[in-house]
């Protein structure tokens, strides 16, 4: 079950995600226009509203909205001023770009950057140890600095 406020003025469907609005009373702004709607939900069911409250300040924005009669034009989560910021997506590392790190969370080297120095033997075979000092002297140097600064931990 997912409750909606279908704004008749601008023909926008505002989706209220069911967990958040399980027991909720307050005002929501339409993602399509400046309308503000009062609702009161109890145990996931609409108990009062939606009632138009023109000019009042909204408590919250919808999480997502679309216009089904308008070719399903979407107003995605996190659209400023229209939908709620999507807190699951705040960090650049969640946006599908490879996050290249040289050091693990505890500050020791990992082999995580590109391009890699070639180390191949015959037919792509590779040795059983990666000698960071030899293959990546600049990372080794950076590591020594980190040790000195106390940025490397045991756990």
Partner 1 sequence: MKDQRVTRIEDLPGPKSQGELEEMKMPYEEYCRKVFSPGQEKTKPESLKGIRWLSTTMYIFTPHSVANLAELGAECIKVEMPRMGDPMRHTSPFNECYLYPLHDSRPMTGTGLGFTNANSNEYYITMDYHVPEMKEAFYRLVKLSDGLTECYRPGTFDRWKQSYRYLQELNPRFIYVWGGGFGYGPKVFGGSYDILGQAHAGLASVTGFHEDFGGHCTKHSNWCIDWYSGTQITVAILAALYWRRKTGLGTMIEFSQVQAATRCLGYTVPLYGRFGIVRQRWGNWDTQLCVHGIILCGKSDYPDEPNPQLKYEARYAVVSAFNDPDFKELCAIIGRNDLWDQYKTLQDRVRPQAQIAIYKALEEWAADKTRSQVVKTLTDAGLLAMPVMNDKEVYECEHFRQRGTIRWLDDPVFGDLLIQSGYSCGLMSKTPRRVNWLWRPVGADNVKIYHEMLGYPMSKIEEWYEKNLI
Q: Which residues pair with 26 in a beta bridge?
A: 39
Residue 72 within binding range of partner 1, rule CB under 8 A: no
Q: How many CB atoms lie within 10 A of CB 49?
A: 17
Site string for partner 1, 102-131 (x = CB under 8 A): -xxxx-xxxxxxxxxxxxxxxxxxx-xxx-
DSSP 87: T
Min dist. Cβ of residue 34 to partner 1 (A): 28
Site string for partner 1, 2-31 (x = CB under 8 A): x---------------xx-xxx--------
Sheet-wide strand order for 64-67:
3-7, 12-16, 64-67, 73-75
Residue 151 within binding range of partner 1, rule CB under 8 A: no
Let me know: does 65 contact 14? Beta carbons within 8 Å: yes
Nearer to Zn ion, 35 or 136 (CB): 35
């Amino acid at each position: 079950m997912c409750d909606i406020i279908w704004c008749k003025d601008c023909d926008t469907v505002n989706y209220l995600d069911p967990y958040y609005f399980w027991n909720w009373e307050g005002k929501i702004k339409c993602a399509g226009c400046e309308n503000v709607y009062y609702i009161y939900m109890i145990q996931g069911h609409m108990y009062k509203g939606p009632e138009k409250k023109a000019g009042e300040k909204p408590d919250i924005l919808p999480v997502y909205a679309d216009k089904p009669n308008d070719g399903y034009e979407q107003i995605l989560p996190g659209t400023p001023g229209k939908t709620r910021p999507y807190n699951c997506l705040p960090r650049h590392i969640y946006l599908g770009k490879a996050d290249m790190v040289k050091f693990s969370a505890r500050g020791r080297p990992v082999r995580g950057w590109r391009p890699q120095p070639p180390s191949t033997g015959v037919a792509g075979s590779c040795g059983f140890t990666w000698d960071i000092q030899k293959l990546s002297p600049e990372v080794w140097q950076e590591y020594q600095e980190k040790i000195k600064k106390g940025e490397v931990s045991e756990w």
